[in-house]
Structure 1
Amino acid sequence: MPIFNYIQPYLSRRVYPLLLLGVASGLPLALTGGTLQAWATVENVSLKEIGFLTLVGAAYTFKFLWAPFIDRFVPPFMGRRRGWMAIAQIALGIAIGCMSLFSPSENLFVLALLATAVAFLSATQDIAFDAYSAEVLQPEERAAGAAIRTLGYRIGMIVSGGLALVIASVWLGWANMYLLMGLLMFGFAVLTWLAPEPDSARIQPPRNIYDAFTVPFREFFSRPEAWSILALIVFYKLGDAFAGALSTTFLIRGAGFPPEVVGSVNKILAVIATIAGALVGGSIMGKLGLYRSLMFFGIMQAVSNLAYWVVAITPQSIPVMALAVGLENLCGGLGTAAFVALLMALCHQQFTATQFALLSALSSVGRVFLAGPLTPPLVESFGWPGFFVFTVFIALPGLLLLWYRRKELSRLDQPQT
């Protein structure tokens, strides 16, 4: 049956475990971010001190600095990838549980230190999980694997974000909610033990720390296409990043929608559309291959930005706004599925942790250093309608780089030798 052909990639024993492992990867993020800020707010911590709490998440930005250690050292159990995942998950269970012992109003500094430890351990889990995902999947499974782990990560964020707030305020209280989340991490360590071992387990790790830090760079930059591939990673989702940088501000201030309506659409429809896009993208990509999927989804990403242009030039309409948000996030999800599969395919299996951490960090350069600072002056120059048209042109360099390296990208669908 045709529909079964689209579901089948997700039924592989190497693919479906990534759903729950993705939940484990996404769960700690909000516990050191929005949820912790909400707890501090409820306990009347000053705004200045709450602002200080945003620094605890810096580990996610700099995780590439210790990724080589994850490549170099092999735990004495469960292999190089699952072993590090399990160690991080058990340590996360302890650290998150310890957070339940302190109150933001009385022990904010201690709580901030524990949150920093949670962020570090969570980033370590992400390093190992990214490497595991890239190594356990066959080339034809990368699209489905990228989609299902994205779905799991989003679920983890919802559990420790919105659901955690409900649990804390209605049922268990803040301390017991954190204790519950810590217990969940111990459960994920069991799931990691049950997950299949990658075929790459036979590959020898780098011989020493020096090699772990230097050889991944030498290997990648020895490739003739290295610099253009790095540029592609920066530019592929740049148009999407510009369109989304101030999308909430546009809908509230530019289009005049009430904040509660925008919040409902963004938090519900946008998440659903992104997940649907990733899952559909994972299924389609198995048929199209990596290069054609990146090109097709990249074009859809760019064109979907015009949905916000439609909102900007038409009379205020909630259905039109909801359709635009849904379409833009659906196409963004399609592009994300293909992009994560690209990062997986680019990594050499001997040092997947280091290369994936570096490439994923590089992929955020455009969003952080270009889209964020440059969007406001562009909006002031072009106005909202002109700005969203311009974002389509911002996406063109990434598509041109994609076409330029089409032969190399087509070869990435083949197994590494």
Structure 2
Amino acid sequence: MINRATDTFSAALFIHLSTNLNAMAPQSIITILLNRRMLVALVMGFSCGLPLLLTASVLQAWMKEAGVDLTTIGLSALLGLPYTLKFVWAPLFDRYRLPILGRRRGWLLVTQLSLMAALIWLGASNPSLNLMILALAALAVAFFSASQDIVVDAYRREDLPDHELGLGSSLYINGYRVGMLLASGGGLILADHIPFSMVYLIMALCLLPGVLTTLLTPEPTVESFPATLKSAVVDPLKEYFSRHQAFWMLAFILMYKIGDTMAAAMTTPFYLDIGFSKTQIGTVVKLFGFWATVGGTIAGGIAMIRLGIIRSLWIFGVLQALSTAGFALLASLGPSVTALSAVIAFENLSGGMGTSAFAAYMASITNKRFTATQYALLTSLMGIPRVLAAAPTGYLATQMGWWSFFILCTLIAIPGLLLLLRIKATH
């Protein structure tokens, strides 16, 4: 389950690439792929993807190993709030310029160095001694990680010419996934052999290529930038809420992946609790699941061309719900690697397909005059269930047991599907 903002670009990128690559000569594509801007997009994607799961699945595994109760582990989902609320302070990066390296690179360097320091601080914390210090350190990691995302997105949009934006964004997403894979799969495997404090130190050092890239890459040339915050925040909101059934569309965005999200919040403690080792989790869930998600996203993009967005949302939404029920089946079967592989393959394939259609829908309802701002707001809104709905999942799992908990997550997906009946007429 890769449920971070980068997945929301996948469908639009696939359609863009499938439409435009045929019109480009192979030599032209190779030339673009090898230029400086593509390398920067790839490295920056890696730097943005790396920190995400260090405050999620890896931290959950550390807390579980330290004897922290499931209710507290579930509440750790609140650490993801900075990713959800990043649109609040995003205009500051547009409005103000630091005295070093330029408007984009200056903020990039500050957020990257601060992120490295926060990761080292988190690794030096101890979940069994002082959970408050651990939580503060993890919150700092999430805040500086979300801030880095904001500035990298802005830099990439300004650095890439229009004809390179599709390929550059694709490389960014690939780098992002590699960063997530290294942090989650690699981090959990390392944690079987070295202390978590060392794992976090190693992950902090893995951000050095991003810092070096910031120092070496040029500042993009921009003719003008916002003089006030109104044009960046108020006008896009006014335009969106003037639409018919705007609130029904927001309700759908909140509810469509809520069951999938609630289940994801407890999967790592679930795997450990029923008897899987951290190496098995890192290998099957993270490494194998990584490729299943990539395949699902691409398959979803292809299918959506024929099915259309709304029909795809229906079909992929049903598959998402069924895949969540697969965890209930795994709870009954116990620590079978074969069963785990099958469940993960189905869950990640369907999750990738659902995310593909979901991303395309959100992109389709943005106004072209405010695409960047409205899309950022919608993706931030999409993250609210990941944080708030996931918070009580530890308590629910403790009280209900794993089988009943995952059945509940399956049933919670139904309201999101029913909202499709409302929004269909608006699309």
Counterpart of 2:354? 335
Alignment partners' CA distance in 2, 1:284 and 1:190: 42
Counterpart of 2:6? none
**Aligned CA-pair RMSD:** 5.3
Instruction: Give the C-alpha shift of residue 218 in structure 1.
Output: 1.5
- SS of the equivalent of 2:243 reads coil
Counterpart of 2:257? 237
Instruction: Give the C-alpha shift of residue 224 in structure 1.
Output: 3.4
Instruction: Specify whether residues 296 and 62 from structure 1 end up closer, same or farther in structure 2 by C-alpha distance, changes over 3 A only.
Output: closer
Shifted more, 259-268 versus 159-168: the winner is: 159-168
Counterpart of 1:303? 319
Counterpart of 1:21? 44
Instruction: Give the C-alpha shift of residue 265 in structure 1.
Output: 3.0
Alignment partners' CA distance in 2, 1:190 and 1:323: 44
Percentage identity across paired residues of the two chains: 30
Aligned counterpart for 1:180 among listed residues 182, 185, 205: 205
Alignment partners' CA distance in 2, 1:249 and 1:145: 36
Shifted more, 154-163 versus 307-316: the winner is: 307-316
Matched, 1:325 2:348: no
- SS of the equivalent of 1:208 reads coil
Matched, 1:94 2:119: no
Instruction: Give the C-alpha shift of residue 330 in structure 1.
Output: 1.0
Letter in 2 for 1:390: L
Alignment partners' CA distance in 2, 1:175 and 1:305: 34
Counterpart of 2:4? none
Shifted more, 232-241 versus 304-313: the winner is: 304-313
Instruction: Specify whether residues 160 and 241 from structure 1 end up closer, same or farther in structure 2 by C-alpha distance, changes over 3 A only.
Output: closer
Counterpart of 1:65? 88
Alignment partners' CA distance in 1, 2:209 and 2:321: 38
1:313, 1:385 within 8 Å by CA — same for their partners in 2?
no
Aligned counterpart for 2:175 among listed residues 152, 158, 181: 152
- SS of the equivalent of 2:212 reads helix
Shifted more, 341-350 versus 206-215: the winner is: 341-350
Alignment partners' CA distance in 1, 2:120 and 2:329: 53
Instruction: Give the C-alpha shift of residue 326 in structure 1.
Output: 1.0
1:98, 1:114 within 8 Å by CA — same for their partners in 2?
no
Instruction: Specify whether residues 113 and 369 from structure 1 end up closer, same or farther in structure 2 by C-alpha distance, changes over 3 A only.
Output: closer
Instruction: Give the C-alpha shift of residue 104 in structure 1.
Output: 2.5
TM-score normalised according to structure 1 size: 0.66
Alignment partners' CA distance in 2, 1:32 and 1:111: 10
Counterpart of 1:220? 240
2:112, 2:148 within 8 Å by CA — same for their partners in 1?
no
Alignment partners' CA distance in 2, 1:250 and 1:38: 10
Alignment partners' CA distance in 1, 2:173 and 2:261: 18
Instruction: Give the C-alpha shift of residue 155 in structure 1.
Output: 1.5
Alignment partners' CA distance in 2, 1:389 and 1:116: 30
Instruction: Give the C-alpha shift of residue 363 in structure 1.
Output: 0.8
Matched, 1:268 2:287: yes
Alignment partners' CA distance in 2, 1:339 and 1:147: 18
Alignment partners' CA distance in 1, 2:310 and 2:163: 15
In the TM superposition, 1:163-174 aligns within 5 A as 163=186, 166=190, 169=194
Structure 1 unaligned spans of 5+: 407-417
2:297, 2:352 within 8 Å by CA — same for their partners in 1?
yes
> How many residues in Structure 1 have an aligned counterpart in Structure 2?
382
Alignment partners' CA distance in 1, 2:314 and 2:163: 20
TM-score normalised according to structure 2 size: 0.65
Matched, 1:393 2:409: no
Instruction: Give the C-alpha shift of residue 26 in structure 1.
Output: 1.5
In the TM superposition, 1:305-384 aligns within 5 A as 305-307=321-323, 309=325, 312=328, 316=333, 318-347=337-366, 354-370=373-389, 373=392, 376=396, 383=404
Shifted more, 31-40 versus 299-308: the winner is: 31-40
2:327, 2:343 within 8 Å by CA — same for their partners in 1?
yes
Alignment partners' CA distance in 1, 2:44 and 2:369: 22
Alignment partners' CA distance in 2, 1:91 and 1:354: 23
Instruction: Give the C-alpha shift of residue 359 in structure 1.
Output: 1.6
Shifted more, 19-28 versus 6-15: the winner is: 6-15
- SS of the equivalent of 1:259 reads coil
Letter in 2 for 1:126: D
Higher RCO (CA-CA < 8 Å; seq separation 6+): 2
Matched, 1:403 2:424: yes
2:289, 2:344 within 8 Å by CA — same for their partners in 1?
yes
Letter in 2 for 1:303: L
2:303, 2:312 within 8 Å by CA — same for their partners in 1?
no
Shifted more, 94-103 versus 58-67: the winner is: 94-103
Letter in 2 for 1:400: L
The Cα offsets for residues 267-291 of structure 1, whole Å up to 9 and x where unpaired, read as: 3332321232224444555x45xx8
2:157, 2:165 within 8 Å by CA — same for their partners in 1?
no
Alignment partners' CA distance in 2, 1:117 and 1:323: 36
1:32, 1:119 within 8 Å by CA — same for their partners in 2?
yes
Letter in 2 for 1:329: N
Letter in 1 for 2:295: A
Instruction: Give the C-alpha shift of residue 66 in structure 1.
Output: 0.7
